[in-house]
Structure 1
Amino acid sequence: MPAAAQSCAGDARLIDGVCLPAISAPGPRIENVPTGFVISLDGEVFEGDDEVRDLVRRTDVRLANADIEVVFDGLGAIPRLDLEVAGDPRAYEAGDTATLQSATNYPAYITRGELRIVDLAAIGGQRTLQVVPILPNGTAQVEVPEGSRIAVIHRVYDAQGRYDETFPVLLSEPDRRPLASDVEDGSDLTARSRIPVHGGAVTVRGTSIVEGAAVTALGERVQSDGSGGFVLQRILPPGEYGVDVQVAGPGQHVDLVRDIEIPRSEWFTTGMVDLTVGWREIEGEETEQWDSGRVAFYVDGRTANGFEITAQADTGEGDIEDIFRRLEERDPRSTVQRIDPDDLYPTYGDDSTLVDDTPTSGRLYVRIERDGNHVLWGDFDAGLDGARLVRNDRSLYGAQGYWATADTTLRGEARASVLAYAASPDMLAQRDVFLGTGGSVYVLQRQDIGVATEVLSVEVRDPVSGRVIDIVRLTPGEDYEINYLQGIVTLSAPLASRVSSSGIVSTPGDDPQLRLVAQYEYTPTVTDVDGYSVGGRAEAWVTDDVRVGVSGLVEETGTADQTVMGADIEWRIGENSHVRLEYAESEGPGFGSTFSADGGLIFDTVGPNGGSGTAIRGDARLDFADIGLAGDGVMGAYYEEREEGFSSLDYSVTSATGNETLWGVFIDATPREGLRYSLTYDDYSNTAGEYDRRGEGAVELALNAAYTLGLGLEHTDRDRAASFGETGQRTDVGARLTYSYGEDRDVYIFGQATVAHEGLERNDRLGVGANYAFADGWSVQGEVSGGSRGPGGLLQLGYDDGEGTTAYIGYELDPGRTISGVTLDGRDNGRLIAGARRQVNDQLTYFGENTYDMFGRYNSLSTAYGLTYQTTEFLSYTAALEFGSVDDSFANDFDRSAISLGVRYEDEALTAAARLEYRIEEGERSGAPLDSETVALTLDGRYIIDDHSRFVFSFEGIDTDTDESSILDGSFVDASVGYAFRPTDNDRLNMLVRYRYLFDDVGQRLNGTDELGPRQRTHVFSADSSYLLNDQLRIGARVGFRLTEAAATETDSFTDNDAYIAVLNARYHMLHNWDALLEWRALRAEQAGFTETSVLGAISRQIGNGVSLGVGYNFGSFSDDLTDLTRDDQGLFLNLTASF
């Protein structure tokens, strides 16, 4: 256990591993406080001492008079950890001083905190430059060091050395999150969470605080916002606390203590059991017994010893003998539609909303968690990482478990941990890989993808050897936005195609590529999805510096039939140094992937690789500071060996290359200020006879404060005739002279020449370039060159005002550029990209981007626009457009257009939203005809007529004319309206009304099978009302009708199936827990040709708390279900219900 973790921050006291805060702030004290207790929740007192009860009441009154509220929010509050950059959003440069603010709502569990200043783009990978201590919710000032991409990670530790940390916050770019300086925003940036936090949340909130007043609550100084309000939430361990609230300002003085007790456990449970047994009496047949049952429950709670349990199950109606077998069934509805709208009224008049904290694609969800360890059944992210060769980041449904020891290493890592999962996917995995275009908009190959199933990342890959150099996972909402129906991804910043080489000599096509990788799930239109997916990982730190791990996965989903197993070991030498070794074996094909070099206009399919093979991967990185060498620098090496047939998430080795072997070494050092040198060597070979060997040396010398001279030497020896059509050797020398005349302002001239070559063409080039950053947010970068491999050029103009407005325009001509799937015919005239994102004011924000590619006879144009317009406090509009056009006179000649329009209105009474989307594709792509048209419209609304009445409506419609490759062809409409009358001051009259229209000429797939369901056009109306005559008697009525046209298959004709029903009933509550029901029913089935009336009577008794046993008799042959026309319901029935 780290010695530094044995004390608490500030004035807090460490008791049993928890830092109990100094709740009462310094200042005047309240004496003679009673020693009793009370228990209250949201101001309602449940139990306690009368004297204390009176004190609490008087304190609450005084707090209310001061517009201040102290509330216990219950157990299970979500821990938050954030890092904010104080002041107005801006980009920080080397040498600037940044003020950083820690923000967390669980300081009682934290013993120390730190800011880790890292360079995300350092040579050899992310590098920690310095560590600065910071108190929880405190501030610290840091001087921004030199580096390529400086960011800060906030990390906090508990008494056992476990730590939580945030995602990196860039200092080189403005932090555009809507955060208020010095005001608690409730934002969360947690990337890793290992500190167990189980306690209750106490919230102190106030309004009407006068300007300049000093506010102290929960022992902390609180800053009010511009409107005089403040909110402070803290998670505290179980126990009794006196929450001191002080306000001192002009004409305003408050000094009160509110007693709060945090319980050790808290539970919310609800559920029901409904069992019915009956005997059917059918004329001319023997009496037949039947039964039906349903069990459903929801549990959410925390135990006294720290277990957090959330569970939900619903067996649905069905035979009693199969009641629990139905829990194994997959629910065909999506997660947010697990409550069937057919069975419910759109509104019940109580303003209730649906919050789903049990995400599951089936009928069961269970999650049990304690101290960061958990087991669950439901929907989850596989999260199989820790090794590069064996990874899985799919979104799955099934079982998952994670366990880690409480004991940690000196660096806060769990001594041992185990992750395992088993799932039965009902969708297929898709992996689209895009070469960066210099733009922000990328179109996925599939549309109508699974909501929240996407995992997006940016990888850096060597284009020659295929080696993955680095992977960065993107955060939804912050790094990108996605349209699930259209399949359009919009990044928050443009993604370049390549990472600039750090050497002096450059070779066109050899610089590392930047690729956007999109992994997501989709439901295929012509394939039944079955199978399973299992995997897991176990790892242990055998010492504080050595970790061993094993990983494995099995995919039997759709076309995938793959097993991958691996083992790895890591030696952590220092903060920035390590040695890793991995071994993996694969058998069978995976899912394959697609690749696009133009943002999604043209895709190349990389099919799944069958067979089996092994792979070895090793890498080492040694920071000079960690191994005791003088100066600033890093050295490293890597080795990879992949057999033919090996397949994983990142690699697929085919017979085209045979076995592959890669290895390399590098060193990058700055022995003194003004002098930097680097040496690299990379070697690739395969058993197909190909090889590629490159070695480079470079040195940079600062001649004075303004001039820097760089010299470089590169030797290439390659035989890639089969892959790239190149064989031979070449030696190049180069030089670069840079003149710097300010921060981010320089001019340079460069040249390189081939001094020897055999087989390979010359690589001569001479050029000039400049970078200039204006003071008002504008920057320009330009370069022009000419050489033996053709002209090259780059011109980029950018603007960033630090307040949400950015603009860019650029032209790039890259000699040696290729586009996958397209053969250059003619001359490459480069690519032009222009885009902007502007926040005009608080009401209007827009975005636009245009890309025009002129790759010989292959010409493409893609355009994307987006707009958000908040016209008033209540009304806003959104619009998005995407256009694409390709013409290469050969296999690709098509146009794509997509438009999305939205409007939203929200005030205290009315909430309404609408979105219209249209997409059309026509022409020829990759030699195949392309012709599809899709229109989609959604409407949702809620209107509070008055305190007693509510009105809601919804509409979902889609019309498609497609080849059914990604979306089914046909039309689908689902519209409903609902009305509820529920008086707030009495319960005499209640009324529920609904109308639903369903038009489906597609025939939606049922239960994930490959069979289409029936087509239908249906109107359904129903109205229920009840009236309480007195305390014993309630009468009710129901009317309904269904007008249906249905066809079992696409070739069958539609037939009518109409029905009407009317019901009158009376419920009488007798003495001694007895209840009676008498109901009259009338049913008219138009096409079946019958009209029938009947009477149903039942009597029941409460035999326990929430338990009722009843018996009844149906004198008619039909039920009150309009969809049931079997006419076999006459007879006796027994019913047992229990609810809790």
Structure 2
Amino acid sequence: MRLWRWLLDQDVKRRTPVALAVVLLHGAAMAQTAPAATSADTLDSRNLFESGGQEGIGPRPFTSFAERLTTPVDKISIKVAADNLPADGVSGTDVSVQLVDGKGQVIREDVNVSIEVDGGARILLPGRLTSESGADRGDVDRIEPGVQVMVKNGQLQFKLIAPYRPDAVNLRVSVRGVVQRAVVRYVPDLREMIAVGLLEGRIRSDRFDPRKIAPAGDDDGFDTELRGFTKDFNGGKSQAGGRAALYLKGKIKGEYLLTLAYDSDKYPRNTLFKDVNPNDFYPVYGDSSVRGVDAQSNSKLYVRVDDKLSYLLWGDYTTQDTNPARQLSQYSRSLTGARGHYEEGRITANGFAAQQSYRQVIDEFPARGVSGPYAVSNPSGIKGSEKIEIIVRDRNRPSLVLKTTELTRTNDYEFEPFDGKILFRAPIPSFDDQLNPVSIRVTYEVEQGGASFWVYGADGALKLTDSATVGIAAVRDENPAAPYEVQGANARLKLGKNTELIAEVARTRSVVNTNANGFNTNNSNNFVGKSGELTGTAARVEIRHSDEDLRLRGYAIEASNDFNNATAGITGGKREAGVAGVYQVNKQVSINAEATRSDDRILDTRSDATALGIDLKLTDRLTIGGGVRHVNQDAVTLNGLTGNVCSNGATGSSTGFNNGFGISQQGNQQIDPATGLPVVCSPTSLSSTLPVAPTSLDRTSVFGRVGYKLTDTVNLLGELQRETGADNTTLYRVGADWQLDEKTRLYSRYEHARTFGGAYGLGVGDTANTFNVGVDTQYMKDGSLYSEYRLRDATNGRDVQTAVGLRNGWRVAEGLRLLTNVERLAATTGNATAAGLGLEYTGSELWKGSGRIEWREDPQNTNWLLTAGLARKIDRNWTLLARDFASRVLPRAGGAADRTQNRFQVGFAYRPVDTNKFDALGLYEHRIDNDRVALTDSTTHIANVRANYHPTRVWTLSGRAAFKRVNELLLGTVRDSYNAGLVGGRVTYDVTNRWSVGTLVSVLQGQNSARQYAYGLEVGYVVMDNLLVTLGYNWSGFRDGDLTGGDYTNRGWVFGMRYKFDEDLFKKNDPAVNKTLSPAVAPAQP
């Protein structure tokens, strides 16, 4: 019998009555199972040391006696023909799958198998012309995520199509609860060289003396000034500038892959990992081509040289180490600089170095059961540096992280259009299905300013034998305001086929709470009253065993008082130890036991918990269990259910506070990433205190639980727990799971427990109730190729997914996804309720749409969130995209003010398929931002149209028109308005194949009679292929009838030269390119 399976491995019956869903949503079958009987079990663990259960949630309930759904398949074998394959995006690799029963025999009956893959790879089934992301799909069930295929005689062969980027691709094959994974490594494809480049020079002379008036900017006229290489002369009236830009990719010396990008005119803009943002500029372009950025660098230069699995890099990178044995010395930053990776044989090594002025900020705050918006504490974050994770913590031990799920920008979250706050694609529940608290952790870089400093580090791992690996790591941050060091060593030993041991030690040196500007401020509860240089150490050891009969986990971890590493999973002064296991006596009986201890030397607290239980499977549908538990915890260690414990009295304060949810006076309490508890609130700007349990906990309880399989897809669960002693209160939990398909289930949970909770749901104080309804999916997060979002010949799937895509719903039909969430929390600081409903449709090739509405109410605020999106292919030439965002905050406290935000945007694209004579893009946007706190109201209208007309080969006409109107109310009494219009155009005529003439005009009409204008004439001559010389004369000026003497006019000439080249420039010795070397290759044309 395998554990952790029965809730997931239900046979899916597609047309389950809708009435059952209504019952679940209404709460008639409100359910809460017992917490996992042991922390030793995990679901779908990739290795023995992976914690947590399904994606984004903690361990599954009733694991000690759960048995997977009856299926003839006992094991799945996956064989991939090769490894270390080229990531060329087209080649296929043979994959063989074999299904075996419990006797080791190949299955002879037909079995439905689910195949999933991530990393941009694709599946090509036998007999199909295109992969499963194309038109000729063989998926027999397109409602369920992944590719479903019927396997005959226990054998299946298909092809795995390579991704375009080198990476480790995870391939997962599952049959109900039986899962097998394979990892296929893809290395850079040694492709032939491709290059594209530009050399540009320009001399500019103005008549106007620049010393008499400050220039308005770099783009006053029609020609963007070259900034990379510039030289002023003639008293500043003249300027010479040059630019060089190059992108190159291809093999060198026959065995290395070189990627190089350089742009002398590129200036750092505090953006890391720059990518194409579909929300920039126009909503839709009518173009289905896929756009991306290959060479991501915040500097002018990007260089990467690949040699199989090793590489050297100059550009943007992260320092995160994927070694599972490295936890205490883990160091995760987003930087621009040099990085190297070496992987050959038994050695793996990494090194990095960067000179910059960034510092890292880590914000963690509780999820609120809604999609957002959520804000970070520091408004100066570097764009693109953020790493957003969903954290699930143990409800009994908040410092223990059960599951960490890293999210992807655009796919999983975006930034709302007003304040740039985080808006998720789906509601983030306050609790998972085991009522473990869920939080949001945002790690990002902030520009500190001042002189640059070095950040560097290295790590390495040596595989001594096939079962033993050792590693070391060291990092140094020379930030003068917050110097930091961390060093560590680790060992990983495989004691047997199913047993692993990990040991690790680490040391940190940090400076905290000494800088008045907050650069090294640490609000963690463990650093209260401390300042200066602190040095600490930590050590851990962990052992895990997992086979068919026994799952066992033991661990011990200890950190000295001054140990400081927010990503280590433990804070200073802590000692944690525990052992947990499940033993299956036979197919009907299993025994589970657990014992844990946690000591905090700083707070002088201790927490002990033990449990022993037995579970019995009476029938295929009914399972019962029971046992005894004992808990001894100090009052400080008991966790109260809190909604908001801090209120901000000063707008803009960020110390221990996050104003991302609600208006600026009411926000999210920040969480200490190391302890999982709220940070210390600053007394200067924050009020209220964290509720503390009235007494300590020393209690024994007996419990009984039951699980009943109502149908093949519906499970009812429940538990009663009776406290012994003077206060013999009965606590209970009930719940229900509805298996929508093999990897998606709808769950509801209801719990009646103590307000201040300890281990196993025991606690002190009054009783309180918690209820939530949610959807849990287990499909691979990175397996999407956006194919379901593509509009025919109109736009790529990624752009449409950005506008209308929702996440984590359950599919009720092909192309139709439903999102639902309901939760109710009775907290020590007041009750909180959240609910949401969303719908997404992607089934048509001609239109896609989505909409959602979310509501949340707590003692401080009532919040509403509404988003909607529609993408429509009107005909072969016209495409339309519309989207809307609305947020409404209604404070419940007396005298508080509300805020309303709404942004409606619609865009169109006219891109003829048959001709290219005329094309156009346009958008209209309407914004409303009414902020009663700041006493401001703003209404904005924006319209913009661009068009190109190409009637014949020699004529090209382009034009644009834009309009903006703003109506404002300032300070609650002052009304103001602003209007602006822009009209511009350009006409080019090719006189001959070499000569061309053009004219340009642009007029910006501002408020009243203020006008800015520019005109120009240009003559161009093609000296040789790809070399263009231009000479132009521009007039630009400003007029305002209300300003006496405010008019000015500037005119001057511009001489420019532009040369474009490609990879043929480097092949002068190749007769196929240089025809003069061998005239016979290319005979003269008559």
TM over 0.5: yes
Write the letter of the residue equivalent to 1:1043.
Q
Residue 454 of structure 1 corresponds to 387
Residue 982 of structure 2 corresponds to 1020
Write the letter of the residue equivalent to 1:993.
G
Q: CA deviation at 1:267?
A: 2.0
Aligned counterpart in structure 2 of residue 690 of structure 1, from 596, 604, 614: 604
Residue 919 of structure 2 corresponds to 950
Write the letter of the residue equivalent to 1:919.
S
- Report the CA distance shift for 1:445/1:560 in structure 2 as closer, same or farther (over 3 A): farther
Q: 1:294-331 CA distances to partner (integer Å, 9 max, x unpaired)?
A: 22222222336342333323222xxxxxxxxx656656
Contact 2:311 2:340 in 1 (8 A): yes
SS for the counterpart of 1:649 is: coil
Q: CA deviation at 1:950?
A: 0.9
Is structure 2 residue 736 aligned with structure 1 residue 770? no
Is structure 2 residue 201 aligned with structure 1 residue 275? yes
Cα distance in 2 for partners of 1:909, 1:120 equals 60
Q: CA deviation at 1:475?
A: 5.8
Cα distance in 2 for partners of 1:880, 1:605 equals 41
SS for the counterpart of 2:244 is: strand
Is structure 2 residue 319 aligned with structure 1 residue 382? yes
- Report the CA distance shift for 1:393/1:531 in structure 2 as closer, same or farther (over 3 A): same
Cα distance in 2 for partners of 1:383, 1:492 equals 27
Aligned counterpart in structure 2 of residue 315 of structure 1, from 259, 264, 286: 264
Write the letter of the residue equivalent to 2:1004.
R
Cα distance in 1 for partners of 2:135, 2:574 equals 70
Contact 1:429 1:521 in 2 (8 A): yes
Residue 431 of structure 1 corresponds to 363
Residue 980 of structure 1 corresponds to 948
SS for the counterpart of 1:375 is: strand
Residue 404 of structure 1 corresponds to 342
Cα distance in 2 for partners of 1:406, 1:939 equals 53
Q: CA deviation at 1:970?
A: 6.8
Residue 303 of structure 1 corresponds to 252
Residue 897 of structure 1 corresponds to 864
Write the letter of the residue equivalent to 1:833.
N
Higher RCO (CA-CA < 8 Å; seq separation 6+) = 2
Aligned counterpart in structure 2 of residue 565 of structure 1, from 487, 497, 522: 487
Q: CA deviation at 1:568?
A: 2.3
Contact 1:348 1:992 in 2 (8 A): no
Aligned counterpart in structure 2 of residue 919 of structure 1, from 868, 884, 887: 887
Q: 1:260-306 CA distances to partner (integer Å, 9 max, x unpaired)?
A: xx996412211112123456666899666532122222222233634
Residue 1038 of structure 2 corresponds to 1085
SS for the counterpart of 1:266 is: coil
SS for the counterpart of 1:355 is: coil
Cα distance in 2 for partners of 1:634, 1:968 equals 60
Cα distance in 2 for partners of 1:645, 1:1129 equals 65
- Report the CA distance shift for 1:337/1:1087 in structure 2 as closer, same or farther (over 3 A): farther
Contact 1:635 1:668 in 2 (8 A): no
Residue 417 of structure 1 corresponds to 349
Q: CA deviation at 1:842?
A: 3.6
Residue 336 of structure 1 corresponds to 276
More strand by share: 1
- Report the CA distance shift for 1:951/1:803 in structure 2 as closer, same or farther (over 3 A): farther
Cα distance in 2 for partners of 1:868, 1:1126 equals 55
- Report the CA distance shift for 1:873/1:805 in structure 2 as closer, same or farther (over 3 A): farther
Residue 574 of structure 2 corresponds to 660
Is structure 2 residue 334 aligned with structure 1 residue 391? no
Q: CA deviation at 1:853?
A: 2.4
- Report the CA distance shift for 1:91/1:810 in structure 2 as closer, same or farther (over 3 A): closer
Aligned counterpart in structure 1 of residue 739 of structure 2, from 759, 783, 800: 800
Is structure 2 residue 448 aligned with structure 1 residue 519? no
Q: CA deviation at 1:407?
A: 0.9
Q: CA deviation at 1:1025?
A: 1.9
Give 5+ residue unaligned stretches, structure 1: 1-88, 95-118, 131-143, 172-180, 194-201, 212-221, 225-229, 238-261, 317-325, 409-414, 501-512, 596-603, 727-758, 888-892, 1003-1014, 1046-1054, 1091-1123
> TM (normalized to structure 1)?
0.58
Residue 176 of structure 1 corresponds to none
Residue 240 of structure 1 corresponds to none
Contact 1:330 1:363 in 2 (8 A): no
Residue 751 of structure 1 corresponds to none
Segment drifting more, 615-624 vs 910-919: 615-624
Equivalent runs, 1:715-864 vs 2, <5 Å:
716=631, 720-724=634-638, 763=699, 765=701, 769-785=705-721, 787=723, 788=727, 790-802=729-741, 807-817=746-756, 827-835=766-774, 839-842=811-814, 844-855=816-827, 858-864=830-836
Cα distance in 2 for partners of 1:210, 1:467 equals 46
Residue 365 of structure 1 corresponds to 302
Cα distance in 1 for partners of 2:587, 2:1034 equals 94
Is structure 2 residue 542 aligned with structure 1 residue 623? no
Contact 1:455 1:520 in 2 (8 A): yes
Equivalent runs, 1:481-560 vs 2, <5 Å:
487-489=422-424, 496-497=431-432, 513=436, 515-521=438-444, 534-554=456-476
Write the letter of the residue equivalent to 1:299.
L
Cα distance in 1 for partners of 2:414, 2:285 equals 33
Cα distance in 2 for partners of 1:534, 1:765 equals 52
Q: 1:899-943 CA distances to partner (integer Å, 9 max, x unpaired)?
A: 112111125322222211111324379x99675433233433311
- Report the CA distance shift for 1:686/1:353 in structure 2 as closer, same or farther (over 3 A): closer
Structure showing greater radius of gyration is 1
SS for the counterpart of 2:276 is: helix
Aligned counterpart in structure 1 of residue 374 of structure 2, from 434, 444, 468: 444
Write the letter of the residue equivalent to 2:496.
G
Q: CA deviation at 1:126?
A: 7.5
- Report the CA distance shift for 1:980/1:560 in structure 2 as closer, same or farther (over 3 A): farther
Q: CA deviation at 1:867?
A: 1.6
Residue 935 of structure 1 corresponds to 902
Cα distance in 1 for partners of 2:614, 2:78 equals 34
- Report the CA distance shift for 1:305/1:517 in structure 2 as closer, same or farther (over 3 A): farther
Contact 2:863 2:888 in 1 (8 A): yes
Percent of aligned pairs sharing the same letter: 12
Equivalent runs, 1:76-225 vs 2, <5 Å:
91-92=8-9, 122-123=40-41, 188-190=117-119
Residue 642 of structure 1 corresponds to 560
Residue 1074 of structure 2 corresponds to none
- Report the CA distance shift for 1:670/1:419 in structure 2 as closer, same or farther (over 3 A): farther
Is structure 2 residue 506 aligned with structure 1 residue 583? yes
Q: CA deviation at 1:790?
A: 3.5
- Report the CA distance shift for 1:348/1:457 in structure 2 as closer, same or farther (over 3 A): closer
Write the letter of the residue equivalent to 2:118.
L
> TM (normalized to structure 2)?
0.60
Cα distance in 2 for partners of 1:284, 1:645 equals 58
Contact 2:202 2:1054 in 1 (8 A): no
Contact 1:825 1:857 in 2 (8 A): no
Segment drifting more, 1028-1037 vs 419-428: 419-428
Contact 1:529 1:557 in 2 (8 A): no
Give 5+ residue unaligned stretches, structure 2: 1-5, 12-36, 49-62, 70-74, 88-92, 101-109, 123-128, 139-148, 152-156, 165-187, 212-233, 513-518, 641-694, 776-808, 969-976, 1063-1086
Contact 2:373 2:422 in 1 (8 A): yes
Write the letter of the residue equivalent to 2:714.
W
Cα distance in 1 for partners of 2:284, 2:438 equals 47
Cα distance in 2 for partners of 1:442, 1:670 equals 44
- Report the CA distance shift for 1:1065/1:710 in structure 2 as closer, same or farther (over 3 A): closer
Q: 1:199-245 CA distances to partner (integer Å, 9 max, x unpaired)?
A: xxx9999999999xxxxxxxxxx999xxxxx99786699xxxxxxxx
Contact 1:461 1:515 in 2 (8 A): no
Cα distance in 2 for partners of 1:783, 1:346 equals 52
Contact 1:588 1:609 in 2 (8 A): no
Residue 33 of structure 1 corresponds to none
Q: CA deviation at 1:833?
A: 2.3
